[in-house]
Structure 1
Amino acid sequence: MNNTLPKETALLIVDVQNAIDDPQWSKYGKRNNLNAEDNMALILNKWRQAGRKVIHVKHESKEIDSTYRPGFAECEFKECVTPVSGEDIIIKHVNCAFIRTNLESILNEENISNLVVFGVITNNSVESTVRVAGNLGFNTYLVEDATFTFAKPDYRGRIYSADEIHAISLANMNNEYCAIISTSELINMI
């Protein structure tokens, strides 16, 4: 791992919206990384102070019963990552931030070759976005303690804790699609 990030690095914040606080997400058990939002705010603050590129990904579901429906307060960004003027906002309608969006074009136009990613849900939108980023050739870092998920059953009905789901998702991505880092490691690299 490099000791510093090149200037051609963007922070990609995935689906950090009020919708994730809806109780339906915790129906199988509590989420992990309860301090994730604090880490998100710390990273974003340091990133902005360094004058680096920030891209927010906002999920707007087309499903009528989704907590991510546009036009509702739940669909808005959480306070810890509220965009400021000049920061790009990518609207997506599926789990991956690269599918049917202009994310790749923005990154290529600005000669961004490195991504730092955090957000929700680890094993859904974060993992699908990181996998595609890696496959597209972006040098990608995933901040494991600024990302979280929820307990979930497998196809047989066995419920796995959020920590287990998170760990398996990180294992799927590590050293193939991205490097897994912590908030403190990232802060030292900015």
Structure 2
Amino acid sequence: MPPLLILIDQQQGIRAPHLGPRNHPDAERRMADLLAAWRQARAPLLHVRHLSRSPSSVFWPGQTGVEFQPALAPLPGEPVFDKQVPDAFANSGLERWLHQRGIASLLICGVASENSVEATARSAGNLDFTTWVAEDACYTFAKRDFAGQPRSAEEVHAMAMANLHGEYATVTSSAAMLERLRTTGSPC
């Protein structure tokens, strides 16, 4: 069985200009390709939606930023898990839901690389799920490091992927996962 595809925080608010420069401008297209392939294969998938606790957040409930981007929105019947912290496993029932369905492997994509993607992949690895991250179907934004040094979105993303690869997950590309799905019927 293919891994369960998890799309994280593909909501309209993540496109807010004030979030600044980002990497992987084609990440949404990569996510859409994965989503289409998983749907066509009738493989398991789910969507994660962030509902912020902060009124200043782009994901504050009750405003358009919390709504899914149309191209990546769930279809009727596709599961949606809500979270209020970066980790999709925290207080969401996701772990139990996966175990009840016998799902042991996950493919994660979404935003932000060093935030919700990394937090969710770390938990998945720690909970003993076989975990992949499609790095080109993830993105983040430029930010300052702890010492105040400006870091590009590419640097922030690369460090997040380095933090995950080999310890919590296998970091790969969307093309590699699509090719494995096409040739073997399962990217596992």
**TM-score in same-fold range (> 0.5):** yes
Contact 1:8 1:113 (C-alpha < 8 Å) held by counterparts: no
Query: Aligned to 1:132, what secondary structure does the other structure show?
Result: helix
Answer yes or no: is 1:129 the counterpart of 2:120.
yes
Q: Distance in 2 between matches of 1:48 and 1:79?
A: 16
- Aligned pairs for 1:7-156 (under 5 A) are 7=1, 9-26=3-20, 30-156=21-147
Aligned residues: 181
SS at match of 1:43: helix
DSSP-derived class of the 1:67 partner: coil
Shift of 1:9: 2.0
Cα deviation for residue 68 of structure 1 reads: 0.2
Gaps of 5+ in 1: 1-6
Deviation at 1:104, TM superposition (A): 0.5
Contact 1:40 1:80 (8 Å CA) reproduced? no
TM-score by length of 2: 0.94
Cα deviation, 1:19-71, whole Å, max 9, x if unaligned, reads: 11112211xxx100000011111110011000011110000001111110112
Q: Kindly provide the amino acid, as one letter, of the partner of residue 25 in structure 1.
A: L
The amino acid that maps onto 2:71 is C
Letter in 2 for 1:125: S
Whole-Å separation in 1 of the counterparts to 2:27 and 2:142: 16
Distance 2:147 2:18 in 1: 20
Checking the alignment, whether the CA contact within 8 Å between 1:8 and 1:111 is kept in structure 2 is no
Q: Any gaps of 5 or more consecutive residues in structure 2? A: 182-188
Question: CA 1:142–1:99 in 2, change beyond 3 Å: closer, same or farther?
Answer: same
Tell me the percent identity. 39
How high is the TM-score relative to the length of structure 1?
Answer: 0.93
Distance in 2, matches of 1:77 and 1:135, equals 28
Superposed CA RMSD: 0.9
Structure 1 residue 165 corresponds to structure 2 residue 156: yes
SS in 2 for 1:166: helix
Q: Which amino acid aligns with 1:158?
A: Q
Runs of 4+ in 1 over 2 A off after TM superposition: none
